[in-house]
Structure 1
Amino acid sequence: MKRCVWKKNSSKRALALTVLMLVARAALYAQDGVAGIESAATQVNGYFGVGTKLMYALGAVLGLIGAVKVYTKWNSGEPDTSKVAASWFGSCIFLVVVTTIIKSFFGV
């Protein structure tokens, strides 16, 4: 008895047909690459304004938490209060400077 060639290679043919359909579908949905990149750049630039406001708000909350931490250490008379205060102040300045640089760099 002879085996049917179609049944033997049916899985290979189905796979090839599926790949061909996917490639054809991708070609149908293809668009201009430059327009897509410009659209993505516009959307990302729109997020920087919100991101910088979020960073300022986060810095304010962390600044208040750090101020309370320094105040409690100072009132309890711990010897490393100046080190904690300096690191807290430095981190607040760093956050403000980085946010301002990002804001000016991206023209938000």
Structure 2
Amino acid sequence: MQKLKNKFLTVCLFVGSFTPVFSQGNGTAGINEATQMVTSYFEPATQLIYAIGAVVGLIGGVKVYNKFSSGDPDTSKTAASWFGACIFLIVAATILRSFFL
């Protein structure tokens, strides 16, 4: 019984000593590759958000102009909401870019 315990202990020590060696290389390389891939998408994503903000601004400008031309008393509320949406898109894109890069 003692021989079996010694063999088991020897095998456990042998396997336990090589496990950290196998896990060190690929984990770090994988994390670095994932970080590089995610950061490479920030520039196109930021440009896309800016383009969406420009389109939303143009649509909002047309809607506000139509309300103003028709004499709608709710024009200032509509202008504030569209302007706020455009500002939010631009600020959100800038903050996300500066936070993650």
TM > 0.5 = yes
Q: Which of residues 53, 56, 81 in structure 2 aligns to 1:59?
A: 53
Structure 1 match to 2:4: none
Q: Which of residues 29, 41, 46 in structure 2 aligns to 1:47?
A: 41
CA distance in 2, matches of 1:97, 1:69: 23
Structure 1 match to 2:76: 82
Q: Which runs of 4+ in 1 moved over 6 A?
A: none
Structure 1 position 106, deviation (Å): 2.1
One-letter amino acid of the counterpart of residue 90, structure 1: G
Q: Which structure 2 residue ranges, 5 or more long, are not aligned?
A: 1-24
TM-score normalized with structure 2 length: 0.72
Q: Which structure 1 residue ranges, 5 or more long, are not aligned?
A: 1-30
CA distance in 2, matches of 1:95, 1:66: 13
Structure 2 match to 1:28: none
One-letter amino acid of the counterpart of residue 60, structure 1: A
Match of 1:32, SS state, is helix
Q: How many residues align?
A: 77
Match of 2:41, SS state, is helix
TM-score normalized with structure 1 length: 0.68
CA distance in 2, matches of 1:75, 1:45: 45
